[in-house]
Each structure stands twice: as structure tokens, then as C-alpha cells.
Structure 1
């Protein structure tokens, strides 16, 4: 297993979708705003378009965040780029709201003139997030013949950003293909792998029999089924096994303070300004 610098890179403030409660989700505008607010890392989701271009959007479809309709994989890049990705971002405290009055959407319509408010390509996000850590979540499995993962990976390899990027997915197959084809890249554990790891911890804290592990980070929820299961002993166990711990999606300062006390390596948040301030106040914010 390659050495794992992600354990020493702590505590990272990951702007989830660019900080989805503070700016239109997954847009270049959100990414730039999050970095200005102090985020040290950007978490972004990647989908393939109909013409196999990599674009950044969380959902399979475009309805929740844009003025369009349809699934991402059924739309061409040109069609996707014609949408307003800030259309439903309101000035209340929710990521998207379709029920507000027209004047409650501060960025609606700006995409016509400003590409920072459109659905971005992965290339655009990578360029906006230069000098910042990246976490790229692959949202679809098109199979090995499509070579979509290779296209995503090329955006990172060609810019010499291997050391500052983690590839993640809720799907096992894309991660397996990345590990097989690009063993020099960093990946996070899939949900299935993370569960196996946690079960190893529960089994009298025995180190996993499969060491060395194929991933460098566990990216896991702060609670499961309403139960706060994360504690310092689990994080210590992960570190002993050579794995960093990044926790999602944490939006309250009190939760952030608790996770810092527990010893996690990264906090994934929709409120990057609050997270960055919290980590700075606690004097634990990652300093390169």
C-alpha cells in the first residue's frame, strides 16, 4: 500500500458540492466562494452526459437544481450547459426550494451571461479549485467499455493533481476499475468497504485481515440511524490501519467541534464558512 499523506493532512474543511447551503450547488461560483471562505478541499459529484462528457451535479436528473428536466446521461453537454444551475437556490436556509417567490432567488437568471452559474464541466471545477484538495465522487457505473472513469481521471493526471485528489463512489465497480487501471491514484472506501472496516473494529478491534487496504480514507456519515457511532477509539483504530477518516455531512458548529475532539481528519460540510471558522478557532485547520 502506498504511504498515506491524508492522515497528516488534517483537519480538512471539505466544501460539500462547493458548500451547497451557501451558494448554488456544484457551481464554479460555489467552489470559488467556498475557497474564499477558507475551505481547504472541494467535494464534487461527477456524472456523464449523453456524449460522455464529465459534468458536476449531484442528482441523476437536473430537475432539483436547474430550470431543465431529464436525466444527465440523456442530455448532451450543450443541452446541459444551457441550464441555469442557480435557478432554485433561495435566500433561505435550504439547498434548493421550488416554492419561494421570484425575488427570493438571488442568482436566478445570471447563468445566461455568467458561466459560473451553469452546470460546470469537471475541467472547469478543477481549474477553479487549483491549489485546493479535491474529492471527486463518481455517480454512475457505465461499465468498463465506456471508459468514463479514465476520462475523469485524465482531468487530474494531466494537471499533475494526483497527490491532492481522492476518487470516491457509492458504487464499487468504478472504484475497482480506477484501482486496477490507475494504482497510483488515491481512492476512498466504498460504503460496503467502510462497513466491513467498521465491523472489523467492532470485532474486538482486530486489524483487518486484508491489510494493506486498497483505500486511503473512510468517508462516512457522522451518525447512522440516529446513533452517534463515531468515537476516538474508532478514529485511532483507523489511523493504526493507515486510513484517514472524513465525515459527512456536518453543518453545525457543535458537531464540528465534537468531531475535532474525536480526532477526524476531514469534515465535509454544506457550510464551509462555518467549518473553516470553527477549525481556525480551534487551531486545527490544515496548513500546507
Structure 2
């Protein structure tokens, strides 16, 4: 069980505010071997880690991420709504996360948030930063926008890509091959043991999301998935340690 990637979904996002440096650091403390995060572009073209295209749910700001400069976004509180103990947390840059993990073996799953807003140049900017940190071997780029993943493969064949999808995609490993993707980032209900075996035959791996129930983690591990994306990396770490 040692090769299963324990992806912390937006960091350790149940005990820290999601997609903050506090959440990423806590995830590593809890035994995460991978970190999943979301990237968007600021008004002045900077790569920031935030899930929603708008600011209201998570931060002290309002409006669209794309309409604010990095300086404006860095002035917002990204932790106080979660818990007053995290009042000083800020929206991080992609560089801050890459800097945190560059000297570890942590895998980083970067989800391109370009379904609602088609951020021009997002793919190239992400690839440039990943290469600048010499982390091409340790990054998986995922997106629900599969046109974007095709572009990523053209720009950086050496960086793995993962197709995000919900349920009911027929033989997704065959489809993934057509866009040269490397991994299936499926909603966990769309992962059955026979699917995992079909994918393995094609050299494709499953990293289902977002799996928080221990019994569901066990089901997926028994099915043979290669990684699990979870809000509770400590639960998965304990499960994997027990199976060694």
C-alpha cells in the first residue's frame, strides 16, 4: 500500500481554511503524500490558489478573482470565515506551495479552474512555474476542461494530466488515451473494481475524489486505485499505515 498517493484536497481542508498555506502545512504533518489545489489568474496575470471563481465564500472580499490584482487579493483575509484563529491567512501564490514542497517527495495535483472563466494563458503560466521549480515529475495537472488538458500535453508532454469527471463516462481510460491523459480523476461513485482493472490494462491510473468516509476509502483501496483525494489525509494515512 506504500505507493498509494494520499492527496489532501485543498490541503487539510476540514481543520484549516482550504487552499491556504496553513492547510498545506497541516496536510504534510498529517501524512499526506500529495496535495490537491486549484489555480486561477489574477487581473494582473498572477497564479493564485483558490477554488471558487468568486471571493465571497472563503474570503473577506467580493466579486470575481479575475477582476482583482494580486496586491488586492493579498490584502484579503482568507481564514477568518473558517475560524478566527486563522484570521491572518492569505490567498497563496502557486509559487508558495511549490516552494513549500520542492525539497520533499510530495506530488502536487494542480487543478486548472477554467470551466467558468477561460483564463487566457493559464496552461503555459502553470507549466512555466512547475518547470522553474524542476517539479515536472511530481505534478499532475487536472481539469474538467479537457481542451485545456490537450493543450497542456502539447506544451509539456512530460507533465502528467488527469481528466476530472463526474459519473457515467463509458470506458474513460479509452477516452483518456485519445487526449493523451495519464490519470482518471473520477468522482468516487464512478469508480468500480472492474473499471479500475480496465484502466490498469490500458496503463491508466485512478485518483478518485473527494473521499472522506473510511469505508469508502477501504472499498477504493481494495479496488486497486493508485491515489485518493480526501479532505481528511490523516484518516487515509492511518488506513494505509495499517495495511503495510
| TM, length-normalised to structure 2 | 0.91
TM superposition shift of 1:13: 0.5
Distance in 2 of aligned mates of 1:65 and 1:210:
33
Query: Which of the numbers 200, 215, 228 marks the counterpart of 2:171?
Result: 200
Q: Deviations over 1:196-234 (max 9, x none)?
A: xx4137xxxxx83885760110001111xxxxx532221
1:17–1:270 CA contact under 8 A, matched in 2: yes
Distance in 2 of aligned mates of 1:148 and 1:210:
21
- Single out whichever of 175-184 and 22-31 deviates more from structure 2: 175-184
Matched, 1:162 2:136: yes
Matched, 1:246 2:218: no
Equivalent positions of 1:8-19 (< 5 A) are 10-19=3-12
User: Which residue number corresponds to residue 279 of structure 1?
Assistant: 240
TM superposition shift of 1:280: 1.2
- Single out whichever of 135-144 and 182-191 deviates more from structure 2: 135-144
* Ranges in structure 1 where 5+ consecutive residues have no aligned partner: 1-7, 91-104, 112-116, 202-206, 224-228, 284-288
In structure 2, the residue corresponding to 1:88 is in which secondary structure?
Answer: coil
User: Which residue number corresponds to residue 174 of structure 1?
Assistant: 148
Cα distance change on mapping 1:254 and 1:210 into 2, 3 Å: closer
Matched, 1:259 2:216: no
In structure 2, the residue corresponding to 1:188 is in which secondary structure?
Answer: strand
Cα distance change on mapping 1:72 and 1:274 into 2, 3 Å: same
TM superposition shift of 1:62: 1.2
User: Which residue number corresponds to residue 44 of structure 2?
Assistant: 51
Q: Deviations over 1:265-285 (max 9, x none)?
A: 1110011111111111122xx
Distance in 2 of aligned mates of 1:211 and 1:64:
36
Distance in 2 of aligned mates of 1:232 and 1:62:
39
In structure 1, the residue corresponding to 2:144 is in which secondary structure?
Answer: coil
Matched, 1:120 2:86: no
Distance in 2 of aligned mates of 1:80 and 1:199:
41
Distance in 2 of aligned mates of 1:211 and 1:267:
21
In structure 2, the residue corresponding to 1:189 is in which secondary structure?
Answer: strand
Return the index of the structure with the highest Cα Rg.
1
Distance in 1 of aligned mates of 2:118 and 2:6:
32
Distance in 2 of aligned mates of 1:209 and 1:179:
15
- Single out whichever of 77-86 and 176-185 deviates more from structure 2: 176-185
In structure 2, the residue corresponding to 1:248 is in which secondary structure?
Answer: coil
Q: Deviations over 1:49-87 (max 9, x none)?
A: 000100000000111111111110000000000111112
Distance in 1 of aligned mates of 2:193 and 2:230:
20
Matched, 1:136 2:110: yes
Distance in 1 of aligned mates of 2:69 and 2:176:
42
Query: Number of matched residues?
Result: 241
* Ranges in structure 2 where 5+ consecutive residues have no aligned partner: none
2:9–2:36 CA contact under 8 A, matched in 1: yes
Distance in 1 of aligned mates of 2:96 and 2:184:
27
In structure 2, the residue corresponding to 1:73 is in which secondary structure?
Answer: helix
CA RMSD of aligned residues (A): 2.2
Distance in 1 of aligned mates of 2:124 and 2:179:
22
User: Which residue number corresponds to residue 79 of structure 2?
Assistant: 86
| TM, length-normalised to structure 1 | 0.78
